[in-house]
């Protein structure tokens, strides 16, 4: 069974299974940092976790080979640590085009804690780098981060609905300037974190040096680059 | 059985079990993003993962209650998403005082991927926010991030030894300026990511508003603040 979005067809059953495991893993990660069970129970859980690891490690891809569900040209990346449906690290953000830029919602659990009760400042940086990059893609642009800058007006509480936004401020050819922020969903006009980023398309010789060895699951070269359109993002 | 570091005594057996589960979880996270097993196997793994989640969810702490192993004054945080021995999200970094600042080593797996083959730019921000903050603590200072800024000179390859450094550039009372970077361990003098941060101690009324509800596992108030010393960090 195959399905298409903006990118090449993919195996919809495999996509559903990757998303199911990703969701289960995110639940386990959160439970593991919030639990107060005793040491015996923790060790028993570790044993079970290692058993699952053995099952999944039966076959694995090398770092130069993209997952079969991925398409770097339309930025379908199922294990991206911010947006990947299969990533245990990701909230995951569902980023959609809106208001001339991109927007996403998130409610962050204890696993993202920095100061007690609040989101780790670096987690805001992680999420905003992805949001800013997604804004370039939504605008039909693309680039690698060369500068990222954040101002923190106040701490972001855990377990509280947040809204993240980003939009291209200036398209200067190979270089794109993007800005955005994170606010409480209950006060979306008052961002608690403000972010600015600069994204640059590497020159062709560098693109080749960086990504020349990257292939899709079938072994065909598959470097990232500027998409011809940005329909991989959900549209309002 | 209890043990002491710079902070109050803790249950060493529980600490070992938390670290064991954390290590097992990190192995599972990496296996889950690198696996090429089929959809049936992924769904079977998801079933097993949900079973472990049920075991750990049998009892859990509220967001306002620190883990029993934690001490925010000496910054012992076992589930910190960058340094926590129990965190499935953390590499984890082992940050130690050295060269008038702090240093850590890391080799990052596929779970931290951004552009194919390279570390996600936002992950560098996550790690450096922690490194810069740790440099303030190592200097006997502390603060919450009010500004974070990164320049990316080149992408950081996955599965390659990296070295991270940070040091206080200026101590201006409540405000601390810190700088640092990430380099290949094979070329430590040429940082590929450079970072600067500003950390500020919130005024006492804000500290109370932010952390007034935070307690330790026994229910005693336990807000973070500037430590009297920084011996919670390993020293060279």
Taken in order B79, B82, B88, B91, the sign of the CA dihedral is negative
What pLDDT band is residue B6 in, cutting at 50, 70 and 90?
Answer: low
pLDDT attached to residue A8: 72
> What residues in B contact A111, CB-CB < 8 Å?
79, 81, 87-89
Residue-level length of chain B: 236
B147 in Cβ contact with A150 (< 8 Å): yes
Residue range B177-235, pLDDT digits in tens: 999 999 999 999 999 999 999 999 998 899 899 999 999 888 888 888 775 433 334 33
Q: What six digits make up the tokens of A10?
A: 């993919």
Torsion B91-A113-A35-A52 (CA) sign: negative
Whether B144 has a pLDDT exceeding 70, the answer reads yes
pLDDT at B82: 98
Please give the Cα distance from B21 to B14 (Å, whole number). 11
Q: How many CB atoms lie within 10 A of CB A134?
A: 28
What pLDDT is attached to residue B3?
54
How many percent of chain A have pLDDT more than 70? 92
- Mean residue pLDDT of chain B comes to 91
Q: Is A44 on the interface with B (CB under 8 A)?
A: yes
Distance from CA of B10 to the nearest CA of A (A): 13
**Burial code of B91-124, b = ≥16 C-beta within 10 A, e = fewer?**
bbbebebbeebbbbebebbbbbbbbbbbbbbbbb
Which pLDDT belongs to residue A225?
Answer: 76
Cβ–Cβ gap B125/A127 under 8 Å: no
- Would you call B13 and A39 a contact, using CB atoms and an 8 Å cutoff? yes
Residues of A in contact with B131 (CB under 8 A): none
pLDDT tens digits, one per residue of A99-127:
899 999 999 999 999 999 999 999 999 99
What's the whole-number mean pLDDT along residues B136-157? Answer: 94
The reply to whether A39 touches chain B by the CB within 8 Å rule is yes
What is the C-alpha to C-alpha distance for residues B133 and B93, in angstroms, rounded to an integer?
A: 13
Asked if residue B24 has pLDDT above 50, the reply is: yes
CB atoms within 10 A of CB B75: 22
* Inter-chain touch B150–A151, beta carbons under 8 Å: no
Average pLDDT over residues A54-68: 94
B45 → closest Cβ in A52, A60, A61: A52
According to CATH, the superfamily of the domain at A1-236 is Hotdog Thioesterase (3.10.129.10)
Interface of A with B in 126-165 (CB under 8 A): 126-130, 133, 144-152, 155, 158-159
Task: Count A/B contacts: CB-CB distance under 8 Å.
Answer: 338
ipTM score above 0.85: yes
Q: Is the pLDDT of residue A232 over 70?
A: no
Specify the range with the lowest mean pLDDT, choosing from A3-12, B18-27, B79-88, B190-199: A3-12
In the three-class reduction of DSSP (H, G, I as helix; E, B as strand; rest coil), residue B92 is classed as: coil
pLDDT higher than 70, residue A200: yes
Q: Which backbone phi and psi does A157 adopt, to 5 degrees?
A: -70, 145
Q: How far is B171 from chain A (nearest CA, A)?
A: 19
CA separation for the pair A50, B100 (Å, rounded): 40
CB nearest A45 (choices: B45, B56, B120): B56
Cβ contacts of A114 within 8 Å, gap of 6 or more: A120, A121, A122, A123, B80, B81, B129
% residues pLDDT > 70 (chain B): 92
A177 touching B, CB under 8 A? no
The pLDDT tens digits of the residues spanning B50-105 come to 999 999 999 999 989 999 999 877 789 999 999 999 999 999 999 999 989 999 99
Rounded to whole angstroms, what are the CA distances from B24 to A16, B68, B75, B125? 25, 21, 24, 25
User: Domain limits of chain B?
Assistant: 1-236
CA distance A98 to chain B (A): 22
pLDDT of residue B142: 86
CB-nearest partner of B86 from A21, A33, A53: A33
**Angle, CA A78 vertex, CA A75 and CA A83 arms, to 5°:** 75
pLDDT tier at A235 (50, 70, 90 boundaries)?
A: very low
**Which has the minimum average pLDDT: A227-231, B37-41, B188-192?**
A227-231
Contact A225/B at CB under 8 A:
no
pTM, to two decimals:
0.93
Q: pLDDT-derived band of residue B1, with 50, 70 and 90 as boundaries?
A: very low
pLDDT > 90? residue B41: yes
What is the number of alpha carbons within 13 Å of residue A30 lying toward its C-beta?
18
Identify the band that residue B114 occupies on the pLDDT scale cut at 50, 70 and 90: very high
CA dist., res. A61 & res. A86, Å (int): 15
The region that residue B119 occupies, defined by phi over 0 for left and psi between -120 and 50 for alpha, beta otherwise, is beta
**The pair of three-digit structure tokens given for residue B113, joined into one six-digit string:** 């991927």
């Amino acid at each position: 069974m195959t399905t298409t979005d903006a990118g090449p067809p993919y195996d919809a059953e495999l996509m559903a299974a990757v998303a199911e495991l990703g969701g289960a893993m995110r639940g386990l990660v959160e439970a593991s940092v919030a639990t107060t069970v005793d040491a015996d129970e923790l060790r028993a859980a570790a044993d079970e976790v290692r058993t699952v690891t053995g099952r999944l490690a039966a076959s694995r891809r090398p770092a130069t080979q993209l997952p079969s569900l991925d398409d770097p040209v339309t930025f379908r990346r199922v294990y991206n640590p911010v947006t990947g449906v299969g990533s245990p690290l990701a909230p995951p953000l569902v980023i959609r085009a809106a208001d001339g830029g991109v927007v996403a919602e998130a409610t962050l659990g204890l696993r993202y804690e920095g100061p007690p009760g609040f989101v780790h400042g670096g987690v805001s940086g992680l999420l905003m780098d992805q949001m800013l990059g997604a804004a370039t893609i939504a605008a039909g642009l693309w680039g690698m981060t060369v500068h990222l800058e954040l101002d923190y007006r106040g701490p972001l509480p855990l377990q509280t609905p947040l809204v993240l936004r980003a939009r291209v401020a200036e398209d200067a050819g190979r270089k794109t300037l993007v800005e955005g922020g994170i606010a409480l969903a209950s006060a979306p006009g008052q961002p608690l974190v403000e972010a600015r980023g600069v994204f640059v398309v590497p020159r062709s010789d560098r693109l080749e040096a960086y990504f020349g060895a990257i292939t899709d699951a079938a072994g065909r070269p598959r470097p990232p680059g500027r998409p011809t359109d940005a329909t991989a993002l959900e549209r309002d």
